[in-house]
Amino acid sequence: MISMRDMRTRAALLIGLVLMLAGLAFAADAPTCTECGKPIERDAFQTQGRIYHPDCFVCEICERPISGSYSEQKGNVYHNDCFLDRVALKCSLCNDVLRGEYLQDYWGNSYCKRHDGEAPMCDSCGRFVSEKLTGGGTRYEDGRFICNICKPESMTDVDAILEIVYEVAEHMKTFGMEVDYNGIQIHLIGRDKMQTLSGHHSNGLRGFTDYREDWRVFGRSQNRKMHIFLLYGMPRMEIINTVAHELAHVWQFNRARFNNDKAWSEGSCNYAAFLVLGKYPGKESSFFRTSLTRDVDPVYGDGFRRVKTLAESEGHRAWLRYLSKSSDFPKGY
């Protein structure tokens, strides 16, 4: 899910004062206008310690003089009406002008804070599901919402998803993570079953890998089965993201390191997904990469950032060498 950021609006409502200075003589030492620099001999508009000819203090939008209260943003001034009409940030859901704290999603939409928890949010892209913004959406049986921007990309065919597994595995080879995906089976399940299977009661969980082997001979597993469980109905790029993460678990499992420190193991899986997503151009993959980067979770988020620092300073080969040999981060990371 996208991290929502509260931001403080920069719009401030200011009161200006009109000083009627008519009739006063400023022959010699008349004050000068902040805007045009010429002396002010009759009427003046004064605000925030500065003084202007009434015709020199003008609205940025309509270019007509301002004589009463006005709005200011980023150094520009506006009639209040012009500001509300043309400049003020408005809620992408209800069109109210946003003041104080508001929410913002990755796609550039801003929302009133009150919609948080009130309007359904797309489980994949983090947009609020609404007719106006996403053309509506669907509620899956397990309670997740998917918007109509993501829905056409959702995949339901296991064979088509297996094609993605092979494609992702090819991408992983390019940075040295060679995954043996023989015998891998894909299962599409709902959120409840995902939580039961994995033992993690987090709504953020999209995939889970179950390893079963009947016996081991000289350290080699026999009759091994890998089951990758994915939430059903996810759009293609989210499947790519999730499959890459799960295949990185498989890679770790194949090297008999399944008791790794959680931040080390999950952080490495997220970093592998980050690298795979980098092979796909476009806004969807950037969205998922950004979500990985901004994840505040101490295991998935911090783990990812620590692995990224390690891999970027010592190289991918070194990261994978540590990962296959050691159950925790090397010293210094």
- Distance (Å, rounded) from C-alpha 273 to C-alpha 19? 64
- 3-state SS, 48-68, equals CCEEECCCCCECCCCCCECCC
Radius of gyration of the chain (CA): 29
3-state secondary structure of 125: coil
Which region, judged by CB under 5 A, interacts with Zn ion, from 47-55, 226-234, 316-324, 325-333?
47-55
264 or 322: CB nearest Zn ion: 264
Residue window 123-162: x/- pattern of binding to Zn ion, with contact defined by CB under 5 A: -xx---------------------x--x------------
Contact 233, 156 (CB under 8 A): yes
| Residue selected from 56, 188, 189, 299 as contacting Zn ion according to rule CB under 5 A | 56
29 or 159: CB nearest Zn ion: 29
| Residue selected from 7, 13, 20, 36 as contacting Zn ion according to rule CB under 5 A | 36
DSSP 272-296: HHHHHHTTS-SHHHHHHHHHHHH--
| Residue selected from 91, 168, 237, 307 as contacting Zn ion according to rule CB under 5 A | 91
- Interface with Zn ion: number of residues (CB under 5 A): 22
- Distance (Å, rounded) from C-alpha 151 to C-alpha 129? 11
63 or 214: CB nearest Zn ion: 63
Q: Is residue 263 close enough to count as binding Zn ion by CB under 5 A?
A: no
Residue written as token pair 């979770």: 297
Torsion of the alpha carbons at 62, 63, 68 and 72, rounded to the nearest 10: 80
122 or 313: CB nearest Zn ion: 122
Which region, judged by CB under 5 A, interacts with Zn ion, from 78-86, 169-177, 216-224, 317-325?
78-86
Q: Is residue 93 close enough to count as binding Zn ion by CB under 5 A?
A: yes
CA distances, 150 to each of 95, 235, 329 (Å): 23, 6, 36
| Residue selected from 18, 21, 30, 62 as contacting Zn ion according to rule CB under 5 A | 62
Q: What is the binding site for Zn ion (CB under 5 A)?
A: 33, 35-36, 53, 56, 59, 61-62, 79, 82, 91, 93-94, 96, 112, 122, 124-125, 147, 150, 266, 269
